[in-house]
């Protein structure tokens, strides 16, 4: 009996804290079912993520880079560097 509580409150404590055995097992069963469903959804999500990762259309960084040539056109080949002449170095 907790100290400081009147005796007339004791029946309230036992009444509200009492869970019949049938309801107790029902609660644990529902909790287990909910946990199984959660685990199943998590596994399905991981499978979908793995499939997306395996079938991704994205490639390497070189495949994603685009270059702009001297005329303003977008190409996938890098521009050729101009050859340096001796006259440019002297100036």
Average pLDDT over residues 53-57: 82
Q: What's the confidence (pLDDT) of residue 83?
A: 75
Q: Which of 15, 17, 13, 16 is nearest to 1 (CA)?
A: 13
For residue 78, which phi and psi values (nearest 5 degrees)?
A: -70, 150
Average pLDDT over residues 9-21: 60
pTM above 0.75, yes or no: no
pLDDT interval class at 73 (50, 70, 90) = very high
Alpha-carbon span 53 to 55, nearest angstrom = 6
Position 60 pLDDT exceeds 60:
yes
Alpha-carbon span 57 to 85, nearest angstrom = 44
**Sequence spans of domains, the chain:** 21-56
- Regarding predicted confidence, which is higher, 14 or 52? 52
Q: What's the confidence (pLDDT) of residue 39?
A: 98
């Amino acid at each position: 009996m907790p100290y400081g509580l009147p005796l007339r409150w004791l029946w309230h404590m036992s009444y509200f804290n009492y869970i019949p055995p049938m309801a107790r097992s029902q609660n644990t069963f529902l909790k287990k079912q909910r946990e199984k469903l959660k685990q199943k959804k998590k596994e399905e999500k991981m499978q979908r993520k793995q499939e997306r990762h395996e079938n991704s259309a994205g490639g390497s960084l070189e495949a994603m880079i685009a270059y702009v040539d001297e005329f303003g056109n977008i190409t996938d080949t890098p521009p050729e560097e101009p050859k340096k002449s001796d006259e440019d170095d002297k100036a």
